[in-house]
Amino acid sequence: MAYARVVTLIAVAISVERTDAIGRALDSARLAKSQGADLVEWRVDSLAQEPSGAGGIARLVQESPMPCIVTVRDESQGGAFSGSDDERQAAWSAASSAKPSAAYVDVELATIRSRSVLGDSVREMARIAGQSGMDAPRVILSFHDLAGRPSGLSSRVAEIWNEPVGTIAKVVWTARTARDNIEAFELLATRVKPTIALCMGEHGLMSRVLAPKFGGFLTYARSDEQGTAPGQPTTAELQSDWGFRSIDARTRIYGVLGSPVAHSRSPATHNGWFRQAKVNARLFAIEVAPSWESFKATLGELLAYAPLDFSGASITMPHKAHAIRFVQESGGVITGGARRIGAANTIARLSDGTLIADNTDAGAFVDALGETSGRETASRAMDGKRALVLGAGGAARAAAYGIANAGAKVVIVNRTADRATRIAAEFSKASGGSDLDVSASELAKLSGQHFDFIVNCTSVGMEGGPLPDGNPLPEGIVIDQRTAVLDAVYLPAQTPFLKYAKSRGARVVEGSQMFIAQARAQFAIWTGSPPSTAKQSR
């Protein structure tokens, strides 16, 4: 039997290690309350082991600016407590005897199962809390696994649900991939009592933010840079960046899928546009390992879990060719441009479940470069000009196709020369009754040549990439005031390539300009109209 949907609370987790840190901890809790937190979890693993720890815990509970959870987390469950049973019981007693008492005490299932004296203490605490009119903490019965998804997860959850001592069930594990979030959502959807089901780590953000969509009892936030578990957003981020309070069962979900993807501006940009347009949707950065198998499994599971309402994706490297294959194998529709390019950066899901693969990169490259010429239309700026495209991935294919289709002569260069040669051969075939002028070359053979447009579609110079300080262009290529250069990398804004080009007098186009152009087109595909402004992306 599914438990009735509840309003999901925000609990800010604050670790208090010593008695002299209590004042600062209370200040942090007051700030979190002003930012929208509903509860504070006092993590007192170390404090509980101090001689005056029980008194400090009592003070935290009594002076707490909002209802609180007291947690003494054992080392075996990822905490710092290694003290005695007496110290743990003293902490629980302090939480119970304070006036008013703590709202909850978080206790591990393993703790009450392994040591009978502690189990008896918790059962007595639960008995008192169950009496009408008694001011006593209720028990959050929990299980944690920092290493990954625990074996026998379903049976562990069933144990917690079936243990009468626990008013709230809690299960938390470290996500291996984004797919672990779906299992957390399934636990919430089938809960038999109020339940907290969350995934830790870089892959687990979706479970924390979308707890309201699936009726989670609460989600945890951090009050500072540290937090008490990997992956916790701040209270302010939950409210301002994710619109936590307005997430409900009807919220549609989108993702930007790539590797690496943590740096992506897509979540901030699209979520800002969703808010402005009053569209009930959220977009998440979803790290997907480079292989086709990982892409297929991840996107397949996101789409297959109907309650998630996964409605579309922005695709970034190295998965743009995978996007075409996925939609093709799913019996979906591939637009003419995406099919010709052989790469898609946008997937949309129609109301009848049909998938559409499109490519908004090609037009964005042409528009962003064309703006540097002052011509009446961006495409006219390309006619009869020479362009150099660096790279051979999905972005490079889109740039070469878009620029050549606008009338330029394109030379494509890649570290692996045969990949550039294959792209040139594909694009030089008849397209709409005419040939595209695309050829492949090696950088060494282009020394001394001038190009009107140069586009970097490699990851060289990308913050967090393999060569963040690198410049993909050798000095032999002629760059001067006649040249317009664009770097598809947008973090940092001024890449080594753009700095070099600017020093030679070239007109430079930052990757953010191209990013915004393609993102606006994506937003229109997903929602039916473009965003009215791009301010949120800056």
The pLDDT of residue 107? 95
Catalytic residue among 358, 361, 367, 487: 361
Q: Which of 137, 104, 318 lies closest to 218, judged by CA?
A: 104
Q: Which of 215, 116, 216 lies closest to 165, judged by CA?
A: 116
- 361 is an active site residue: yes
**Taking the C-alpha atoms of 271, 277, 319 and 249 in order, what is their torsion angle to the nearest 10 degrees?**
70
Q: Which of 474, 462, 430, 442 lies closest to 265, judged by CA?
A: 462
pTM of the entire predicted model: 0.90
Contacts of residue 45, defined as CB under 8 A and 6 or more positions apart, other chains included, come to 15, 17, 71, 72, 73, 79, 80, 81
The pLDDT of residue 538? 33
Which structure tokens are listed for 96?
């119970």
φ/ψ (deg, to 5) at 482 = -80, -10
Find out whether the peptide bond into 260 is cis, omega within 30 degrees of 0: yes
Q: Which residue ranges make up each domain of the chain? A: 9-246, 252-362+520-537, 376-517
**CA atoms of 262 and 462, how far apart (whole Å):** 12
The pLDDT of residue 96? 94
DSSP code of 231?
Answer: T
The pLDDT of residue 533? 59
One-letter amino acid at 264 equals S
Which of the residues in the chain have pLDDT under 70? Answer: 1-5, 132-133, 225-228, 373-379, 429-434, 533-538
Find out whether the peptide bond into 233 is cis, omega within 30 degrees of 0: no
Domain 9-246 has CATH 3.30.70.260: no
Same fold, 9-246 and 252-362+520-537: no
Catalytic residue among 33, 213, 320, 385: 320
252-362+520-537: CATH topology is Rossmann fold (3.40.50)
Catalytic residue among 33, 45, 106, 170: 170
One-letter amino acid at 355 equals L
Segment (H or E) for 89: helix 85-97
Helix 266-277 × helix 511-527 angle, to 10°:
40
**CA atoms of 95 and 86, how far apart (whole Å):** 14
The pLDDT of residue 537? 39
376-517: CATH topology is Rossmann fold (3.40.50)
Q: Are 461 and 471 in contact (CB under 8 A)?
A: yes
Q: Report CA torsion sign: 112, 113, 117, 123.
A: positive
Contacts of residue 420, defined as CB under 8 A and 6 or more positions apart, other chains included, come to 392, 412, 413, 414, 440, 441
Which structure tokens are listed for 182?
């779906």
Half-sphere exposure of 256 (CA within 13 A, CB side): 22
409-413 and 438-441: which strand pairing? parallel
One-letter amino acid at 212 equals P
Place of tokens 């889109």: 398
**CA atoms of 257 and 521, how far apart (whole Å):** 17
Catalytic residue among 33, 45, 106, 144: 144
Show the DSSP H helices in 194-345 as ranges. 205-209, 235-240, 266-277, 292-304, 320-329, 336-341
The pLDDT of residue 109? 93
Q: Which of 139, 84, 91, 152 lies closest to 115, judged by CA?
A: 84
Judged by DSSP in three states, 426 sits in helix
The pLDDT of residue 226? 66
- 320 is an active site residue: yes
- 213 is an active site residue: no
- 263 is an active site residue: no
Which structure tokens are listed for 14?
């604050």
**CA atoms of 171 and 204, how far apart (whole Å):** 13
**CA atoms of 245 and 474, how far apart (whole Å):** 51
Cβ neighbours around 307 below 10 Å, total:
13
Which structure tokens are listed for 225?
């840079």
